[in-house]
Amino acid sequence: MIRIKELSVQERPREKLIRYGPSSLSNIELLAIIIGNGSRNESALDISAKLLSRYTLRELSTAGVSQLKEVLGVKDAKACSIVAAFELGRRAWSYTGENYEIKSVEDVVRLFPEMRHIKQEVLKAVFLNSRLGLIKTDVISVGGLNTNSVEPREVFRPAVLESAAGIILVHNHPSGDPTPSERDVKFTKEILEAGRVLGIELLDHIIIGDGKFVSLKEEGIL
């Protein structure tokens, strides 16, 4: 077991970060700072090393609390700290500030850097004002690995509450292939028709895969 107190002051993760900056630390050392204290039998460095031997950093960034607790063998606190740290990183990366305008498909994809790595199919919506300014984004549905059943009212209820003039749907394909399925096309057309009735325009439906994406509008489906 590597006890942090047994390391020289210069080699302790927190002291290294203060003295040399975060870029000087290894992934194990950065994770140990997030974890904080170790357990009776393992130091924070040991726990970090165990996690990173089981998960890649990318996999760890999308792991849930229950998943991490199994590996850590600890209560909620340490697992929550890890999940919260990665979520803050995602939010910082995708933060656009106020008055953000959607001018391209890339502008939408940029809002969701995490979606290419999620192992479940997730449907999100981007709510826009009449000038295509971003009002907010929201999770509409979280489905299984290859399925995501959702009714049009689940999409438009938050759109009505936000007084949105238009929406853009975004969902991922865990397989990594963003090619629209027949079900994706059918669902998109259902949302398009429902939006016309409500006076809320469906501007696009974007499917995100592993490093690539497809716009149903650009494909001529909308």
pLDDT at 25 over 50: yes
Please indicate whether residue 24 or residue 171 has the higher confidence score (pLDDT): 171
- Measure the N-to-C terminal CA separation of the chain; round to a whole number of Å: 59
Reported as type and span, the H/E element at residue 153 is helix 152-161
DSSP, res 4: G
pLDDT at 127 over 90: yes
Strand order in the sheet with 201-208: 134-142, 122-128, 166-172, 201-208, 213-215
d(CA 173, CA 95): 23
pLDDT at 157 over 50: yes
Quote the tokens at residue 177.
Answer: 């292939």
Return the minimum-mean-pLDDT range out of 11-15, 49-53, 170-174: 11-15
Give the 3-state secondary structure percentages of the chain, helix then strand then coil, rounded to 5. 45, 15, 35
The answer to whether 115 and 170 have CB atoms below 8 angstroms apart is: yes
d(CA 21, CA 32): 15
Please indicate whether residue 194 or residue 39 has the higher confidence score (pLDDT): 194
pLDDT at 38 over 80: no
Q: Where are the alpha helices (DSSP H) in 95-151?
A: 105-109
What integer pLDDT is reported at residue 96 of this predicted model?
Answer: 53
pLDDT at 9 over 60: no
| Average pLDDT of the residues in 18-22 | 82
pLDDT by residue (tens digit) across 40-83? 777 888 888 888 888 888 788 888 888 888 877 767 888 898 88
For 176-194, give the secondary structure using H, E and C. CCCCCCHHHHHHHHHHHHH
The answer to whether 169 and 216 have CB atoms below 8 angstroms apart is: no
- pLDDT, averaged across the chain: 83
Question: Confidence class of residue 87 from pLDDT cuts 50, 70 and 90?
Answer: confident
What integer pLDDT is reported at residue 147 of this predicted model?
Answer: 47
What integer pLDDT is reported at residue 10 of this predicted model?
Answer: 56
Burial of residue 58 (CB within 10 Å: 0-12, 13-18, 19+) is exposed
The answer to whether 84 and 92 have CB atoms below 8 angstroms apart is: no
The answer to whether 168 and 125 have CB atoms below 8 angstroms apart is: yes
What integer pLDDT is reported at residue 180 of this predicted model?
Answer: 92
